[in-house]
């Protein structure tokens, strides 16, 4: 391959990436340790033309190429030292993807030419084979005109998150045309949106849609990385989900999907993976960052630059302490927000991004730039508040502006409905986790409450299996957690025993009722409302098949659960007492009303005392929410008043009679729902305050307080 020595025009160092101005394209690439960069342009036949980027400003290599425009495929070859012990792995035989590319075309085939070294990764030599025939191409796109419609801007306290996988959610939907199934357009289909709206969710949280590639070890087993937590490009929508090709159509298709969801009042939140890349550890392929500037992009061991610091369990950790890395992260976030219309982000393994030297530092550069950015700090920010490193579990420790996946909520509620745990922990979780979020000025909505997620059992499997069944992953069932906190209701796996099936369905209703009515923001995993099963697989990251795909064929049990879930979410949307922006006081907030805003009751109708909370055998709890003592006001300053509700939770074998608190709490009660009697109409059963009411084993009952 000859190099065109005429070279491009000087161009500009910023913006980074490929920028078309109508006459040509400015290319720029950050690499502080490089000694030269070749821009590689590919024609339709795949022929390569190399141009030297002779200009370097602020460690950015740049040049302008006239008469080049949208659709141009390109990549880079970067020259520099080969010294793995010092952290340098430059090898111009490897075609490298532009980290700032808005689209990628083609596939990675994991030929040995993709690997930058021969022999030992620490002491071997650069591999001379050309990787271009085996890897992707970056694609030049026209500049975006930005968002042309209004965002839903759902207040945090009104938010209901629905976590879904773009492909798996629509692959089996009977009303989505075959060519749109599994795509962004499939998710935007009216029938799919009708399901989301009818269910009552306000925000979809999409599993990763940044362009990714499957890890070589997974590909060697004949499996894909289905979930997508293996990002290669932080600006490019994944072409796996495109029905319009991979030459830029995926970008417009994603924008159209966002617009369709926004038109229905539904926000779009992205699950983003800025903690590591698809290149893996030292033995991984050289696709982009490693070859552009390994030491500049990754965290390396201080005593041996050939080793990667791995807080992620994926072989590497991006170095969010580096100014250029922080710039890339923020440029990516702003692009998805301003150009693509995204409403928020859930940061995978966010603790890894917040590490300064070794410790998780909530005053780190990452936290600081997020906090001060006038675009990003106005969006929904969700942390997965842990990584695999020492001290990485940081639930409750992220700073203001951040909400968190509340792992303690998940564990407490799972323990409750398997007959374990304690009421003291449960009380905090049901009431918004004030012990975790109140002292730093955050609100109850800082707690993203969830019981299931993509990672782990589905809700149905949570009450069907005691143990994981991951054999399909071809890892001898060693992968996935063993800490499931599940209960199979007496039989491992599916059964035709009617009593067991009835109990399992009741347990699903119990869990969903607990989730939706807890203070904080509920997150529902797609398919839980339809009894979706993964047949005991609690780590279906590599299952792009019916194990992971949503089953839209509704049997009577699924229809019943869908109706119950929709009813719960409708109740939450209409009753502000379940959507409070302030933490409870636990005492009267109005001198004229002696009833506190929140009260807890024993089965005998007495108020819970300190000893009651610490009883390890206690499995029944009453929670009274006073709709006349809501501390929030409307945006016009008007007082908010609602009905009062009494929620009874009975997580034990055997029926139990509880006494309903009478005046001043309530004169009478109407039963809103009983999970043991899912077809019971709202208000069809009325009881006096002070009367007894039976609770079936393993059930949840909600009552509305009335004065007449």
Catalytic residues: 348, 384
Contacts of 461 (CB under 8 A, 6+ apart): 486, 533, 534, 535, 536, 538
Q: How far is CA 258 from the centre of its chain?
A: 17
Q: Among 382, 397, 387, which residue's Cα sits nearest to residue 346?
A: 382
Ranges of beta strands (E only) in 348-469 are 380-383, 403-405, 447-450
Cite the DSSP H helix spans in 373-497. 407-416, 423-430, 434-437, 459-462
The 8-class DSSP code of residue 246 comes to S
CA 338/CA 376 separation, integer angstroms: 10
Q: Please, what is the end-to-end C-alpha distance for the chain in angstroms?
A: 88
Find where tokens 């797609």 sit.
526
* Alpha-carbon torsion (48, 54, 60, 64), positive or negative: negative
User: In the beta sheet, which residues pair with residue 163?
Assistant: 205, 525
Q: In terms of DSSP bridges, do strands 267-272 and 203-206 run parallel, antiparallel, or are they unpaired?
A: parallel
CA torsion, points 368, 372, 377, 382, in degrees to nearest 10?
0
Whether 294 contacts 308, CB under 8 Å: no
Q: How many CA atoms lie within 13 A of 180 on its CB side?
A: 17
CA 446/CA 431 separation, integer angstroms: 12
CA 451/CA 412 separation, integer angstroms: 9
Q: What does the block give as tokens for 343?
A: 């409403």
Contacts of 652 (CB under 8 A, 6+ apart): 419, 619, 620, 697, 698
CA 387/CA 228 separation, integer angstroms: 17
Q: For the stretch 306-322, what's the b/e string if a residue is b when 16 or more beta carbons lie within 10 angstroms of its beta carbon?
A: bbbbbbbebbbbbbbbb
**Ramachandran class of 654: left when φ > 0, alpha when ψ lies in -120 to 50, beta otherwise:** left
CA 623/CA 427 separation, integer angstroms: 9
User: How many beta carbons lie within 10 A of that of residue 225, not counting itself?
Assistant: 19
CA 660/CA 646 separation, integer angstroms: 9
CA 292/CA 77 separation, integer angstroms: 8
Q: Calculate the alpha carbon distances from 694 to 122, 212, 647, 698 in Å.
A: 69, 54, 13, 12
Whether 485 contacts 415, CB under 8 Å: yes
The 8-class DSSP code of residue 451 comes to S
Quick check: helix, strand or coil at residue 687? Answer: strand
Q: In terms of DSSP bridges, do strands 117-118 and 104-105 run parallel, antiparallel, or are they unpaired?
A: unpaired
* Alpha-carbon torsion (537, 472, 530, 160), positive or negative: positive
CA 526/CA 171 separation, integer angstroms: 13
φ/ψ (deg, to 5) at 192: -70, -45
Q: How many CA atoms lie within 13 A of 173 on its CB side?
A: 26
User: How many beta carbons lie within 10 A of that of residue 499, not counting itself?
Assistant: 10
Find where tokens 């024609």 sit.
43
Find where tokens 């340790």 sit.
33
């Amino acid at each position: 391959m000859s190099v065109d020595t005429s070279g491009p025009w000087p161009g500009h160092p910023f913006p980074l990436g490929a920028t078309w101005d109508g006459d040509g394209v400015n290319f720029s690439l950050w690499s502080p340790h490089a000694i030269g960069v070749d821009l590689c342009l590919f024609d339709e036949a795949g022929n390569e033309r190399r141009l030297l980027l002779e200009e370097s400003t602020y460690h950015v290599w740049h040049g302008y190429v006239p008469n080049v425009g949208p659709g141009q495929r390109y990549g880079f070859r970067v020259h520099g030292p080969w010294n793995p012990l010092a952290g340098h792995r430059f090898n111009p035989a490897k075609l490298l993807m532009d980290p700032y590319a808005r689209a990628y075309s083609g596939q990675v085939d994991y030929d040995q030419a993709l690997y930058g070294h021969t022999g030992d990764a620490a002491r071997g030599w650069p591999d001379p084979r050309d990787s271009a025939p085996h890897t992707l191409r970056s694609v030049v796109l026209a500049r975006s005109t930005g968002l042309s419609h209004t965002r839903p801007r759902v207040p945090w306290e009104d938010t209901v998150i629905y976590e879904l996988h773009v492909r798996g959610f629509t692959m089996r939907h009977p009303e989505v045309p075959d060519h749109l199934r599994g795509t962004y357009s499939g998710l935007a289909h009216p029938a799919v949106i009708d399901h989301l709206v009818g269910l009552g969710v306000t925000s979809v949280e999409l599993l990763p849609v940044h362009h990714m590639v499957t890890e070589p070890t997974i590909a060697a087993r004949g499996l894909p990385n289905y979930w997508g937590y293996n990002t290669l490009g932080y600006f490019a929508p994944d072409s796996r989900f495109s029905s319009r090709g991979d030459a830029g159509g995926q970008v417009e298709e994603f924008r159209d999907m966002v617009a369709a969801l926004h038109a229905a009042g539904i926000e779009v939140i992205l699950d983003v993976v800025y903690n590591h890349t698809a290149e893996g550890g030292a033995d991984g392929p050289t696709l982009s960052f490693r070859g552009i500037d390994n030491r500049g992009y990754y965290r390396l061991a201080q005593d041996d630059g050939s080793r990667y610091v791995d807080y992620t369990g994926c072989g590497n950790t991006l170095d969010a302490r580096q100014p250029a890395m922080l710039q890339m992260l923020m440029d990516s976030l702003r692009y998805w927000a301003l150009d693509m219309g995204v409403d928020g982000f859930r940061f995978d393994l966010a603790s890894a991004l917040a590490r300064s030297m070794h410790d998780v530092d909530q005053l780190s550069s990452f936290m600081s730039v997020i906090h001060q950015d006038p675009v990003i700090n106005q969006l929904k920010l969700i942390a997965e508040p842990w990584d695999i490193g020492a001290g990485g579990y940081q639930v409750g420790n992220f700073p203001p502006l951040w909400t968190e996946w509340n792992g303690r909520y998940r564990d407490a509620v799972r323990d409750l409905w398997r007959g374990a745990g304690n009421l003291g922990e449960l009380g905090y979780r049901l009431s918004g986790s004030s012990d975790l979020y109140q002292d730093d000025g955050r609100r109850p909505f800082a707690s993203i409450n969830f019981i299931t997620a993509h990672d782990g059992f589905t809700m149905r499997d949570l009450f069907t299996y005691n143990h994981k069944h991951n054999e399909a992953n071809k890892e001898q069932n060693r992968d996935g957690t063993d800490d499931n906190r599940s209960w199979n209701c007496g039989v491992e796996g599916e059964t035709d025993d009617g009593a067991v099936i009835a109990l399992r369905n009741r347990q699903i209703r119990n869990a969903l009722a607990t989730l939706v009515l807890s203070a904080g923001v509920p997150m529902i995993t797609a398919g839980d409302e339809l009894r979706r099963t993964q047949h005991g697989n609690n780590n279906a990251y590599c299952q792009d098949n019916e194990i992971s795909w949503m089953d839209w064929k509704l049997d009577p049990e699924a229809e019943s659960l869908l109706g119950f879930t929709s009813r719960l979410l409708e109740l939450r949307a209409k009753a502000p007492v379940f959507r409070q922006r302030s933490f409870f006081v636990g005492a009267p907030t109005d001198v004229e009303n002696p009833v506190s805003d929140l009260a807890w009751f024993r089965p005998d109708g007495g108020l819970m005392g300190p000893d009651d909370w610490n009883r390890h055998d206690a499995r029944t709890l009453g929670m009274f929410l006073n709709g006349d003592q809501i501390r929030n006001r409307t945006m016009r300053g008007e007082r908010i008043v609602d009905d009062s509700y009494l929620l009874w939770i009975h997580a034990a074998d055997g029926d139990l009679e509880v006494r309903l608190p009478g005046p001043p709490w309530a004169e009478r009660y109407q039963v809103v729902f009983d999970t043991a009697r899912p077809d019971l109409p709202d208000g069809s059963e009325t009881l006096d305050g002070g009367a007894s009411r039976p609770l079936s084993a393993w059930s949840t009952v909600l009552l509305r307080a009335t004065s007449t």
